[in-house]
Amino acid sequence: GEDVEQSLFLSVREGDSSVINCTYTDSSSTYLYWYKQEPGAGLQLLTYIFSNMDMKQDQRLTVLLNKKDKHLSLRIADTQTGDSAIYFCAERGHNNDMRFGAGTRLTVKP
């Protein structure tokens, strides 16, 4: 498809793992990103992965990249209430354009 796709909502219990999935569009994308948007704020880069990598781990965050299926996922271990936010998947395409998904709203319940 033409759009970067993400599910719109995810709800988890505090302490559980969260997995947010994304399907991107450009098989030539060089970098793929996860951004976090907290209420009333702009987007902030959470993590990124270069297209020649399959996995990247950064503390509680694990990014998995499946280039064959153009699938990107973000796993947050031991999810906390402070992780409640909107998470955007983005790709830097071969035209150097930046495409964002619609965002997944993560709600963490105590």
Partner 1 sequence: DSGVTQTPKHLITATGQRVTLRCSPRSGDLSVYWYQQSLDQGLQFLIQYYNGEERAKGNILERFSAQQFPDLHSELNLSSLELGDSALYFCASSSEGLGTGELFFGEGSRLTVL
Cβ proximity to partner 1, 51 vs 84, nearer residue: 51
Enter the tokens of residue 68: 């064959």
- Shortest CB 73 distance to partner 1, Å: 19
Query: Residue 49 has which token pair?
Result: 């992965």
**Contact with partner 1 (CB under 8 A): which of 12, 51, 64, 100?**
100
What value does the CA radius of gyration of the chain take, rounded to a whole number of Å? 13
The β-bridge partners of 22 are: 6, 72
d(CA 100, CA 90): 4
Site residues for partner 1, 18-57, by CB under 8 A, read: 30-31, 33, 35, 41-45, 48, 50
Among 2, 69, 95, 110, binds partner 1 (CB under 8 A): 95
Residue 99 lies near partner 1 (rule: CB under 8 A):
yes
What tokens appear for 37 in the block?
């948007």
Which C-beta is closer to partner 1: that of 11 or that of 30?
30
Q: Can you tell me the distance from the alpha carbon of 97 to that of 91, in angstroms, rounded to the nearest whole number?
A: 8
d(CA 110, CA 62) in angstroms, rounded, equals 22
- Does position 88 bind partner 1 by CB under 8 A? yes
Residues that bind partner 1 (CB under 8 A): 30-31, 33, 35, 41-45, 48, 50, 88, 90, 92, 95-103
